[in-house]
Amino acid sequence: MPQPDWTPHRRDDGELLGWIRPDGDAWVPVDVLGRPLGAPGEWLDAEAVLESHGIAWLADPWMLEGEGERPLRVRILEVTPDDTGIPGRIVVKVDDFGDMTRPATDRYTLPWPVPARLRLPTDGDPDPREIGR
């Protein structure tokens, strides 16, 4: 668990959706990447935010900056939060678009919680399916 006062919140099947952390007299939902998902509020509201947020978004493409001339389109392979005395990590790989016939793509291990250089794509990002010069 990232902090001793963070309470894990799981789906009915046991899958971790995130945590609920105290903030004064209120509670903040935190996703599995360690990002706050909203303003402090009531406990049940924090649970509802985590439930509606889910974890399917982890399968979306992400952009990793700082490893080349332009951001790399990547997919998240692993999210391991900090544990007592053990630093967590986030492992990503360059997106292979599901092509099982191509060689394995590069992998990068990042610290947990998610660093700012791993982000969702924006309209201004290069299309990784186009060869650039």
Tens digit of pLDDT per residue, the chain (133 long)?
A: 578 899 999 999 999 999 999 999 999 999 999 999 999 999 999 999 999 999 999 999 999 999 988 899 999 999 999 987 789 999 999 998 878 888 888 999 999 999 999 999 998 887 766 655 4
What does DSSP assign to residue 111? E
Does residue 112 fall inside a structural domain?
yes
Where do the H-state alpha helices sit in 10-113?
A: 43-53
Please indicate, yes or no, whether residues 15 and 40 belong to a single structural domain of this protein: yes
For 12, residues 6+ apart whose C-beta sits below 8 A from its C-beta are none
Please indicate, yes or no, whether residues 88 and 69 belong to a single structural domain of this protein: yes
Please indicate, yes or no, whether residues 81 and 103 belong to a single structural domain of this protein: yes
Does residue 32 fall inside a structural domain?
yes
Does residue 40 fall inside a structural domain?
yes
Does residue 102 fall inside a structural domain?
yes
Please indicate, yes or no, whether residues 64 and 115 belong to a single structural domain of this protein: yes
Give the pLDDT of residue 1. 59
What does DSSP assign to residue 130? S
Please indicate, yes or no, whether residues 75 and 91 belong to a single structural domain of this protein: yes
Does residue 129 fall inside a structural domain?
no
Domain limits at 93? 60-119
Please indicate, yes or no, whether residues 41 and 11 belong to a single structural domain of this protein: yes
Q: Structurally, how many domains does the chain consist of?
A: 2
Does residue 1 fall inside a structural domain?
no
Q: Is 6 in contact with 84 (CB distance < 8 Å)?
A: no
Please indicate, yes or no, whether residues 108 and 74 belong to a single structural domain of this protein: yes
Please indicate, yes or no, whether residues 46 and 73 belong to a single structural domain of this protein: no
In three-state secondary structure terms, 63 is: strand
pTM: 0.87
Does residue 33 fall inside a structural domain?
yes
